[in-house]
Amino acid sequence: MDKELIERAKNAIEKAYSPYSNYSVGAAVRTENGEIFDGCNIENSSYSLTVCAERVALFKAISEGNDKIEEISIVIDDDKLPSPCGACRQVISELAPNAKISLATKDGLYKEYKIEELLPNAFTLNHGDKKDE
């Protein structure tokens, strides 16, 4: 468990804008060079415009030229573990396919996953390629 990454994700919860769901999420990603980018969920009254914490953190890293993501931590202030939504799972599978994914609560509940466990048979860049038969 990367305690620093979990702590950054916990701190990001405080920045969340979640007046509609009251479900604040913090996330942090660590890149290959050790840089950390955090994010929080940001809701909108037009729900489809809401952005999850995982995507905010990933997009910040990628937009700063860091495309080698080693780990993602997602933390909530709840008594059960968070679960990335389908959109976040798809984005993780493309932008951070080899990253360790840590799900945690502020109180210390913790579990690690690989994206294949959370999104088996993901749609990928090579999805339409035909394999030799």
DSSP sequence for 2-20 = -HHHHHHHHHHHTT-B-TT
Supply the range of the domain harboring residue 88.
3-118
The answer to whether position 133 is within a domain reads: no
54 is catalytic: yes
Which member of 7, 54, 64, 94 is catalytic?
Answer: 54
Q: Distance between CA atoms of 60 and 36, rounded to whole angstroms?
A: 10
The answer to whether position 131 is within a domain reads: no
Reported as a single tens digit per residue, the pLDDT across 79-104 is 999 999 999 999 999 999 999 999 99
The answer to whether position 123 is within a domain reads: no
Query: Any idea what the CATH number is for the domain that residue 45 is in?
Result: 3.40.140.10
If one counts every other C-beta atom within 10 angstroms of the C-beta of residue 44, the result is 12
- For residue 75, give every residue at least 6 positions away whose Cβ sits within 8 Å of its Cβ, in sequence order, or none: 6, 9, 10, 12, 13, 25, 26, 27, 82, 104, 105, 106
**Global pTM value:** 0.90
The answer to whether position 74 is within a domain reads: yes
Reported as a single tens digit per residue, the pLDDT across 21-45 is 999 999 999 999 999 999 999 999 9
The answer to whether position 127 is within a domain reads: no
The answer to whether position 130 is within a domain reads: no
The tally of domains found in the chain comes to 1
